[in-house]
Amino acid sequence: MSTPPADFLLDGLRRLSPERLRGMRRGVEKESLRALPGGALALTPHPLALGSALTHGRITTDFSESQLELITGVHASVEACLDELTQIHQHVVHSLAETGHGAGDERLWASSMPCSLPTDETIPLGRYGSSNIGRLKSVYRMGLGHRYGRRMQTISGIHYNWSLPGLGNDEHFALIRNFRRHAFVLLWLFGASPAVCGSFVAGRDHGLQSLGTGSLGLPWATSLRMGRLGYQSAAQATLAVSYNSLEGYAASLHAALTQPYPAYEAIGIRNLGGEYNQLATTLLQIENEFYGTIRPKRVIQRGERPLHALRQRGVEYIEVRCMDLDPMLPVGIQAATMRFIDIFLLHCLLQPSPPDTPDEIAALGRNQHRTAAFGRQPGLTLERDGADVPLVDWAAELLAQCAPIAAALDAAHGGQAYAAALAEAQASLAAPETLPSARVLAQINSDFGGSHIAYTRAQAEQARQHLQQLPWTAEQRAAGEAEAQASVAAQRAIEAADTVDFETFRLAYLAPEGLQVAD
């Protein structure tokens, strides 16, 4: 007779000492578009005052030159992580204002779904200088634009990087399998993108309803970012990546990184003028192109491929990728949310995690899309073990199982903050109108004439004013400026050190041998 899930969880929790729980670490990567006061995308280059996007450790760009990515270090406490994220935001906001970038009027767009976008081909790609590695990053983005369109790449989110000492590869992948089964809870609780600007879906079949003033949405949506209009790829849908082991996961990605894909072969590596269209004609140009709600990760060494790092040294941490920016918060996320993710990830680790199957993987995809588009619809059901289960009932069951985890974390850290975060999540089960997605949509409709742009513009300005009013010392300003200047010098050193032409570098970087572990 198998052990009941509740007993399995409690047995696992007893094996996690307070010292090990205190060894939990987290960090945040937060993307935000730079936007103009009227809500249009800022087309200016990455601000010089923010340093080099290639080498700055905390401020870079994501897909577009107009899309900042702000990166914290690794932290032992939620408060320290949130403090650093806030300070990075302060540096950005003050730098934009003090240097007159965009006449000092640019602000960080507060929503995951983009601001008013220009035509696809005029959305600027990220630029990283003349070095081979810098050019590789830009050509990769050119390829993304050809494959999926540039508009899709302007979606922004928050990635939560998390680790617990003492976990092996099998435990990491067991956690990942359960995360994928239960990620609908995070979309439901924290999804905050129920509306979009019409410019985002121009020329596409979208199935959205008009909100007025050029905006579209769905009445019960939680996270359009994580739905069919978000980070989706028909080509990648052909990948049934299994998370049953590191070996199986690596083999799936290896094939996608080395086997040509006909539609991308048609694009070609270069155009007739000799300019690069993409890095490769394979299904994935590089590992980062693989979309997913969660990734196993390992810090890479200089020049190393991420897949090689995983195969060589195993999983070091996991990256949660399904979190929307909360436009009602100055930096897009709050401490209670981070604490809930900590609880949720431990639950995924401690629950039984049977192997996944192709049928289950397909069902999980349907659950994700259903939650993203209709998550708050009364009576909505999801698929579980071949049967339909009410989303709210399933979520309530999972949250109830989290209570001893929250208690253990509070015992290890002191206080009641984890229990409070869980209680807040449980309270929302009976009051879905309090969820971020419901509140965002209600404010858009009641106060902003149905305009996603007007609403998010107001939230962005409110966040900017809040960040400008926080204490910001001369020492903090000087440290930020020094970090930016050092990154510019580091980029120049990389450019000066190149010894081969870009094509030679590209071929060497993409060589299949770089994905393998030497015998």
- Side-chain-side CA neighbours of 419 within 13 Å: the count stands at 10
What local confidence, expressed as pLDDT, does residue 511 receive?
A: 95
Could you report the per-residue pLDDT of 242-271, keeping only the tens digit for each?
Answer: 899 999 999 999 999 999 999 999 999 999
Distance of CA 5 to the CA centre of its chain: 30
Crossing angle, helix 335-350 and helix 403-413, to 10 degrees? 120
Tokens 């590992």: give the residue: 287
| 1 — pLDDT class (breaks 50, 70, 90) | very low
- Of the given ranges (237-246, 319-328, 401-410), which has the lowest mean pLDDT? 237-246
Q: Specify whether the CB–CB gap between 422 and 406 falls below 8 A.
A: yes
What local confidence, expressed as pLDDT, does residue 4 receive?
A: 64
**Cα separation, 129 vs 30, whole angstroms:** 23
Could you report the per-residue pLDDT of 153-166, keeping only the tens digit for each?
Answer: 999 999 999 999 99
What local confidence, expressed as pLDDT, does residue 232 receive?
A: 66
**Cα separation, 129 vs 447, whole angstroms:** 44
Which of 53, 57, 81, 56 minimizes the C-alpha distance to 67? 53
Mean predicted confidence (pLDDT) in 29-38: 96
Could you report the per-residue pLDDT of 418-440, keeping only the tens digit for each?
Answer: 999 999 999 999 999 999 999 99
Which of 380, 400, 399, 398 minimizes the C-alpha distance to 390? 380
Mean predicted confidence (pLDDT) in 168-197: 98
Average pLDDT, the chain: 95
What local confidence, expressed as pLDDT, does residue 2 receive?
A: 47
What local confidence, expressed as pLDDT, does residue 223 receive?
A: 98
Mean predicted confidence (pLDDT) in 143-159: 95
- Of the given ranges (101-115, 206-220, 382-396, 469-483), which has the lowest mean pLDDT? 101-115
- Strands, E assignment, 392-443: none
What local confidence, expressed as pLDDT, does residue 100 receive?
A: 61
pLDDT of 311 over the 70 cut? yes
User: What 3-state DSSP class applies to 450?
Assistant: coil
Beta-carbon contacts of 184 under 8 Å, excluding residues fewer than 6 positions away, are: 367, 368, 371, 375, 382, 391, 394, 395
User: What 3-state DSSP class applies to 318?
Assistant: strand
Q: Specify whether the CB–CB gap between 41 and 66 falls below 8 A.
A: yes
pLDDT of 136 over the 50 cut? yes
Could you report the per-residue pLDDT of 197-247, keeping only the tens digit for each?
Answer: 999 998 888 899 999 888 999 999 999 999 988 766 777 777 878 899 999
**488-492-493 Cα angle (round to 5):** 115
Mean predicted confidence (pLDDT) in 339-351: 98
Q: Which two tokens stand for residue 107?
A: 């602000």
pLDDT of 448 over the 70 cut? yes
Could you report the per-residue pLDDT of 63-110, keeping only the tens digit for each?
Answer: 999 999 999 999 999 999 999 999 999 999 999 998 665 556 899 999
Q: Counting every residue, how long is the chain?
A: 519
**Cα separation, 309 vs 497, whole angstroms:** 24
Q: In this prediction, what percent of the chain has a pLDDT beyond 90?
A: 90
| 43 — pLDDT class (breaks 50, 70, 90) | very high
What local confidence, expressed as pLDDT, does residue 518 receive?
A: 67
Position 169, amino acid: N
User: What 3-state DSSP class applies to 261?
Assistant: coil
**Cα separation, 442 vs 450, whole angstroms:** 9
- Mind listing the domains of the chain with CATH numbers? 5-225+288-296+316-481 (3.30.590.20)
